[in-house]
Chain A
Amino acid sequence: MIQLNGVTKFYGGVKALDDLSATLGEGVIGLLGPNGAGKSTLIKVLLGLVRLTRGEARVRGLDARRDSRKIRQRVGYMPEDDCSIAGLSGVQAVAFAGELAGLPPRTSLRRAHEVLDYVGVAEERYREVQTYSTGMKQKAKFAQAIIHAPNLVFLDEPTGGLDPQGRERMLALIRNLFGKRRVSVVVSTHILQDVEACCDSVLIMSRGRALVNDTLAALRKSVDASLVIRFTGDGGAFAKALAGRGCEAKSLGADEIRASGEGADLPERIFQGARDCGVVVRQMAAGKTSLEEIFLRAVAGDRDAHL
C-alpha cells in the first residue's frame, strides 16, 4: 500500500525525515512516535504536500512527488487541527469537502448526509461547525476525510480531546472502516492504547527514522520470552536471587515481578531463586509485552544509539 525508500526531508537545516525506508501493507496501521519524530511530515510527504529532499515515496503505486493530485483524489486525510471554515454548518462543511474532491454538488450533499449518519452526527449537522464540541468536530473532520470514498485514510490524532465514550466510538469507526469497508487506515497518535485497540500493525518512528515496523502480534511474540510472577515475600531479595541465577528481573509492583532469561529451565531457576530467599510463588504466567514497553524500548534504544 505504501512504500518508502530512503525518504529524507530537510526543513532548512533540520532533518525531519532521515533515510526512512518501510513498507506498509493493507489494514489499520498505527503511526507512533514522540513529538518531533516526523509523523506529520511523513503524512504530508505521502499526500504530496511537501517535497521530498531525497528518496522515493509511493502510495498505492503512485509517486508522491509526481502524482500528488491523484493520490489526494484517492486518499482521505483528517488533520489534527480544527480546520473548520467559519460560517459553514456541519453538513455544508462536509459537502464542501466533497466538492473540493470533485463530487458534483448534489451528490456531495447527499453523501454528506450519508457519512454524517455513519459517523453519528444527527440533528447537530445543521449547526455551525464552530459551535461543536471537540467530539463533534472530530466526527465532522472524519466525515470530511471519507466523503469522497477514498481507499486509504490518514487520521492525525483522531481521539485527541475526546472523552472515553467518544474515544471508544471513534475507535469503533476506525475498526469498522477497514473491517467492513476495506478502507485502509493510517492512525498517527501518541495514545498507545488507541493503537492497541484498533491497529493491526505499527510503525514506530523517532528522529525521522523507522525503528519498528511490524504487526502487533509479531511484535508481542518476539519479546514474550518472559514470565510474570506473583509472589509473597521480600521483592528486593527475590530480584537479587533471580539475578544470581542468571535471570533478568523487573519489578511490576509490590508483589509482582517479570523475569526473563535464556534457556528452557527458566521456571525451574525462578523456583530455586524463590526458595533461596524464602519467597512463596503464588502464580506464574507467560509474560505479555504491552505496546508501551515495545515503544519505550524502541525509543530508548534509539536515544542510547545517539548518545
Chain B
Amino acid sequence: MPIFELGYRHWEGALTPAWKRWATITRAGVALAFRSKVLRRLLFLAWAPLLYFGPLFFAVGYVTDPARGVRGSDWASFARAFLGTELANRFMNDPASLRPHVWSAIFSHFFMYSQGFLTFLVLTIVAPPLISQDVRSKAFLLYFSKPITRVEYLLGKAGTALFCVSLVSLLPGVVLYAVSIALSPSMAVLADTFVTLPRILTASLVVALPGTLLVLAFSSLTSDGRYATFAWIGVWMLGEMFFRILEQVPGLQGSGWLFLPSIREASNAVIGGVFEVDQVVALADRLNASGRSQIRAMLHSPYSPAAALVYLLGLAGLSLAVLYRRISAPMRV
C-alpha cells in the first residue's frame, strides 16, 4: 500500500442548486469576453455619453433652484438647447410638475441614441462566437452530458451577452439616475422621479433582449462566428437603410408598420412608450408657436409602441425557436 498516492478520490459534498447552474456558463462566457481589448475599450467609451447627460441633468436641476436666479446663465442656455426655449422656460417656472416629463425626455434620448448604438456594437463583439464555437467543437455534448438543460444553456449564453450589454445600457442608466438625483436641488426630486428606475430597467431590456436573441440565433446557425457577425451587422444596417428608403416613398409615409425593417426604430418606438415621451412632446408642441417643437424632432416616433413591442417580441420568439431547434440538433444525429 502506498504511503502517498496522487490518485483519483471520490468526492461527496453539497452541490450548488440546479437553478444556479446557468450562471456558471454566463460567468465563464463573461470572463472570456473580457479578454477582448476592443470590448474593454468599448465599455470604457460607453461612459462617454454621461459627460453630456450628467451636465444636462445638472443644468435642469440648477435652473429650477429658485434661490439661484440663474435664468441667464450658461446652464440655462444648455437646458434650453436640449428642451427648447418654451419648454425650458415653463420648466423653470413649474419644475415639480414638469420634472418627470423632462427626465423622461433626457433618459429616452440617452437610450434611443447613444446607448442604443453602443448596445449594437457590444453585441457585435460579444455574441456571435458564443454558440458558433460550441457548434464547431461540438461542445454541446460537454454541456448536456452534465446536469444542464437546453433552457439553462440558452440562459447562460444569453446571460453572457446581456451582462455585457447591461454594462453599456442598464449600468450607465442607473448611474446617470443616481448622479441626477445627487445633483438635484432637493431630495423631493426622488419622489417625483421614482418611476424612472423601472423605466430604465425596461428600456435596457428593450434595447438588449431582441438583439441578443437574434445574434445568438445567427451564432447557432454557423460554426464560424464571423458569419454570425456579418449577418447581424447586415440585418441591422441594411434594415436601417431600407427603412430610410421606405420613409421617402410618398405612398408609404403614413403606414404604421414602416418601422418593420429597422430594429433600432422599433426599439425607439417602444422606449418612447416606456418613458411616455408623447406627453412631453405634446406639451412642448403646445408651447411652441409653430406647433412643432424640437423635442418632437428628437424623440417622437410616429409608430405605435404596442405594435413595435409585438414586432420585437415576435422577433425574440422566432430567434428563440431557431436557437432551441439548433441546439437540439446535435442530439438528433
Contacts and interface: CB of A to CB of B under 8 A. Distances in A.
Interface residues of A, number: 44
A233 to B, nearest CB: 55
Interface string B6-35: 111111111110100100110010001001
Contacts of B12: 149
A112 B99 CA distance: 56
B230 interface: no
B97 interface: no
Contacts of A146: 8
Interface string A14-48: 00000000000000000000000000000010010
A102 interface: yes
B193 to A, nearest CB: 39
B144 interface: yes
Categorize the interface residue count of chain B.
Answer: 35 or more
A100 B24 contact: yes
B146 A103 contact: no
A49 B15 contact: no
A210 to B, nearest CB: 22
Contacts of A145: 145
A83 B8 contact: no
A114 interface: yes
A85 B16 contact: no
Contacts of B8: 114-115, 118, 146, 176-177, 180-181
B147 A79 contact: no
Interface in B196-219: none
B297 interface: no
B37 interface: no
Contacts of A251: none
Nearest to A173: B8
A66 B322 CA distance: 25
Interface centre among A92, A101, A107, A117 (most CB of B within 10 A): A101
Contact of B7 (A11, A70, A118): A118
Given A99-B24, A118-B6, A77 B16 contact: no
A243 interface: no
8 contacts: A47-B145, A73-B147, A83-B142, A87-B35, A88-B32, A97-B146, A102-B18, A177-B8
B134 interface: yes
A103 B15 contact: yes
Contacts of B18: 69, 102
A144 interface: yes
A100 B21 contact: yes
Given A87-B32, A102-B15, A97 B142 contact: yes
Interface string A74-101: 0011010111111110001000110111
B68 interface: no
Contacts of A76: 145
A104 B10 CA distance: 15
Contacts of A102: 15-16, 18, 21, 147
A209 interface: no
B45 interface: no
A162 to B, nearest CB: 19
A72 interface: yes
Contacts of A176: 8
Nearest to A71: B147
A266 to B, nearest CB: 48
